[in-house]
Amino acid sequence: MLERRRSSDNLSALIRRPAWIATALAVLLLAAVQLRVWLHGRALWNDELAIAINLKERGPVDLGRGLKYSQVAPIGWLQVENFLQSLSDSELVLRLPALIAGIALLVGTAAVARRAIGDWAAAAAVLLVGSSPMVVYFSSELKQYAVESAVALGLLLLGADYLHRREQREPLTWRGRAVYAVVLVAALSLSYTALLVLVGVLAVVALRCWWKLVWRDAVGLWLAAVPALVMAAGLVVLRKMQHMISGQETFFTGGMPLEGSGLPGIWKWLPQMWAAFAAKPIGAANAWVLLALVVGGVVALVLRGRVLWALLLASPLVMALAGAAVRGMPMVDRVALYLTAPALLLVVAALDGLVRLVLAAARGLRPGAVRAAVATVVALAVGAGGGWAVGLLPSREAAYEAVRSPIERTQVRALISDVATRVRPGDVVLAYYWLEMPVDWYGPRYGVSVDSYLKLGPSGDPQRCRPVTVDAVLAGGGRVWYLHGNQLTSDVGDYRARVVRELAEHGSITASDPLGWTLFDMSAPPQAASLPEPPASPRWDCLSATPRPAPSAR
């Protein structure tokens, strides 16, 4: 009997060793992928620029009073970024927390998968989560979403650690409670979505205590969570007092039910939400196969006796659904990135369960070599078939292309640096009003200063229609630059052509560039008559100029 046990232990060690090596290699590979995208140093774009300017213009206290440009970000994350910005304006430095969080997400995924599912599942989960296109992208962007994803897994591990200690009857000291309290406060200061995850973890703890009839066991974690929950309540109230962007249900399509739709509207919204969630952030082509695998993962863990892990992994999805149903937080796109790892871990658990069924069925085959061969082939077919069915593999190909050649979301940095080499003393530089943030950030770096911003408006609105301001800007004649760029906007598609034609009423076009600039000579005859006339529109028929405001100083 002793020899048999030793043989079993040796076999288990042999199985685990290659699994651990495979997991470590997967983590290193995907960490290198994130590092490669981070080092590419693509230009900051709209939301990133808004955050960067807020960090540059405001101190630590002012950041807690709301942000310019309708930006929203966790106060703890802002303080970390503010400290880094005080050290350096380097965009790589500002994006460093996202990179660290992205790598931490890989390590956390491996830790959760190994404990919840199995050793080989850890390698599969890391590959699946780490190759997600949105995980790769947001691990090198100046936004909080990668940090929120890492914090979510950290809270799940914290809850699992607490439950394990209670199962082992290990006493929770006051020092332990203090550590939990500090960690939870830090987590909720770094992540808005941490509140949903924490409430889910506390619900699992409460369910376990109810089942075991040991309510005293839960007191330690609940007491430790009180400071974090109080702080979270204060942050929610503060957020409600600040400016909210209207129409989030249309901006994050399917993320929340329509306001006032009631229970029938929520029921109708659920399929739309899941389809949108499967597409972004998960990247699955078949939403319903994804749902079957997520539910199958919960069932597989329950059947294996890992009920607490099934509940822990499902709890963020359930809480996110509840939060979206009451229109608190959209459950789609980048704001739901923190759900990527829990959802894909359940997918891995489902596929792992299918493989285990195949291996169990193969045990009846004889001889041993045939049994092993059949089991291996079928297991691989099940895993590959599951990945193909849910449509995850094509999205990984897209992620590979994005890593091989990172896509610049904006050419505005190249635009400003190019114009900087061409502008002469005395030139007038005008810009599309959406370029205010890029000019504020990149203009001083390249020595480009904009005199005024141009904006089209309705002629019947005296507040938005002031053509005399354009006449004043162009009164001096000479060379005039119009920078329009390729910013993502909601304006009409021919906006640039309309502005160019308006400016050509005062002079001639001498040059233009695909980067997004047009050069006029205002001493030459007007050229507007030779340009195509856009369709008449009362909304876009009046051009106004607004002087560039002086940049704020910290």
Whether residue 348 sits in one domain with residue 268: yes
The winner for highest mean pLDDT among 209-213, 374-378, 500-504 is: 500-504
| Measured CA distances, 390 to 277, 291, 317, 349, 382 (Å) | 13, 9, 18, 14, 12
Compute the distance between CA of residue 370 and CA of residue 376 in angstroms, rounded to an integer: 10
Residues 317-330 pLDDT 10s: 999 999 888 888 88
The pLDDT confidence band at residue 554, using thresholds 50, 70 and 90, is: very low
Whether residue 215 sits in one domain with residue 357: yes
Whether residue 246 sits in one domain with residue 125: yes
Contacts of 346 (CB under 8 A, 6+ apart): 293, 294, 296, 297, 298, 313, 314
- Give the residue-averaged pLDDT of 548-553: 57
Lowest mean pLDDT among 146-160, 390-404, 447-461: 390-404
Whether residue 485 sits in one domain with residue 390: no
Compute the distance between CA of residue 535 and CA of residue 532 in angstroms, rounded to an integer: 10
Q: Is residue 57 part of a domain?
A: no
Whether residue 374 sits in one domain with residue 434: no
Whether residue 442 sits in one domain with residue 359: no
Compute the distance between CA of residue 342 and CA of residue 151 in angstroms, rounded to an integer: 12
Q: Is residue 341 part of a domain?
A: yes
Identify the bridge partners of residue 457 per DSSP, sorted by sequence position: 542
DSSP E strands in 108-235: the ranges are: none
Pull the structure tokens for residue 253: 């399509």
Residues 76-118 pLDDT 10s: 999 999 999 999 889 999 999 999 999 999 999 999 999 999 8
Residues 388-447 pLDDT 10s: 555 665 566 666 666 666 667 778 898 999 999 999 988 999 999 889 899 999 999 999
- Long-range pairs for 363-370: beta carbons < 8 A, 24 or more residues apart: none
Residue type, 75: I
Pull the structure tokens for residue 18: 């290659």
Residue type, 461: D
Pick the closest to residue 153 from 301, 338, 27, 283 (CA basis): 338
Rounded to two decimals, what is the model's pTM? Answer: 0.86
Who wins on pLDDT, 158 or 403?
Answer: 158
DSSP string, 495-528: HHHHHHHHHTTTSEEEEEETTTEEEEETTSPP-G
Please say if the pLDDT value at position 315 is more than 90. Answer: yes
Compute the distance between CA of residue 109 and CA of residue 150 in angstroms, rounded to an integer: 9
Whether residue 336 sits in one domain with residue 227: yes
Whether residue 423 sits in one domain with residue 394: no
Residues 16-56 pLDDT 10s: 678 888 899 999 999 999 999 999 888 898 889 999 999 99
Whether 71 and 244 have beta carbons less than 8 Å apart is answered as no
Whether 498 and 470 have beta carbons less than 8 Å apart is answered as no
Q: Is residue 435 part of a domain?
A: yes
Whether residue 261 sits in one domain with residue 307: yes
- Angle at which helix 340-362 crosses helix 287-303, to 10 degrees, equals 60
Q: How many residues does the chain have?
A: 554
DSSP, collapsed to helix, strand or coil, labels residue 386 as: helix
Whether 486 and 411 have beta carbons less than 8 Å apart is answered as yes
| C-alpha torsion angle, residues 220, 74, 261, 270 (rounded to 10) | -70
Q: Which of 367, 385, 404 lies at the terminal end of a domain, its last residue?
A: 404
Please say if the pLDDT value at position 64 is more than 60. Answer: yes
The pLDDT confidence band at residue 530, using thresholds 50, 70 and 90, is: confident
Looking at residue 170, the DSSP 8-state letter turns out to be -
Q: Which of 404, 429, 450 lies at the terminal end of a domain, its last residue?
A: 404
Q: Is residue 84 part of a domain?
A: no
What pLDDT shows up at residue 543? 87
Whether residue 189 sits in one domain with residue 294: yes
**R_g of the chain, CA atoms, integer Å:** 28
Pull the structure tokens for residue 78: 């802002």
What pLDDT shows up at residue 28? 94
The pLDDT confidence band at residue 386, using thresholds 50, 70 and 90, is: low
Name the residue range of residue 493's domain: 412-547
Compute the distance between CA of residue 241 and CA of residue 235 in angstroms, rounded to an integer: 10
Pick the closest to residue 147 from 194, 108, 80, 98 (CA basis): 98
What pLDDT shows up at residue 553? 41
Pick the closest to residue 451 from 415, 423, 409 (CA basis): 423
- Give the residue-averaged pLDDT of 136-148: 93
Q: Is residue 76 part of a domain?
A: no
Residues 361-374 pLDDT 10s: 666 655 555 555 55
Whether residue 352 sits in one domain with residue 474: no
| Measured CA distances, 381 to 118, 285, 365 (Å) | 19, 19, 18
| C-alpha torsion angle, residues 233, 234, 237, 238 (rounded to 10) | -140
What pLDDT shows up at residue 491? 78
Average pLDDT over the chain, rounded to whole?
A: 82
What pLDDT shows up at residue 4? 47
Q: Is residue 165 part of a domain?
A: yes
| Measured CA distances, 283 to 276, 387, 552 (Å) | 10, 12, 41
Residues 200-234 pLDDT 10s: 998 888 887 777 656 666 666 667 777 777 877 77
Whether 411 and 513 have beta carbons less than 8 Å apart is answered as no
Neighbours of 54 (CB within 10 A): 22
What pLDDT shows up at residue 32? 93
Pull the structure tokens for residue 379: 């297991």
Total number of domains in the chain: 2
- Give the residue-averaged pLDDT of 447-458: 90
Whether residue 418 sits in one domain with residue 300: no
Q: Is residue 293 part of a domain?
A: yes
Q: CB burial class (10 A; 0-12, 13-18, 19+) of residue 80?
A: middle
Q: Is residue 335 part of a domain?
A: yes
DSSP, collapsed to helix, strand or coil, labels residue 553 as: coil
Identify the bridge partners of residue 454 per DSSP, sorted by sequence position: 432, 545
Contacts of 160 (CB under 8 A, 6+ apart): 112, 115, 116, 308, 309, 312
Pull the structure tokens for residue 446: 């390249």
Pull the structure tokens for residue 335: 């704001």
Whether 441 and 45 have beta carbons less than 8 Å apart is answered as no
Compute the distance between CA of residue 477 and CA of residue 394 in angstroms, rounded to an integer: 55
Q: Which of 371, 388, 404 lies at the terminal end of a domain, its last residue?
A: 404
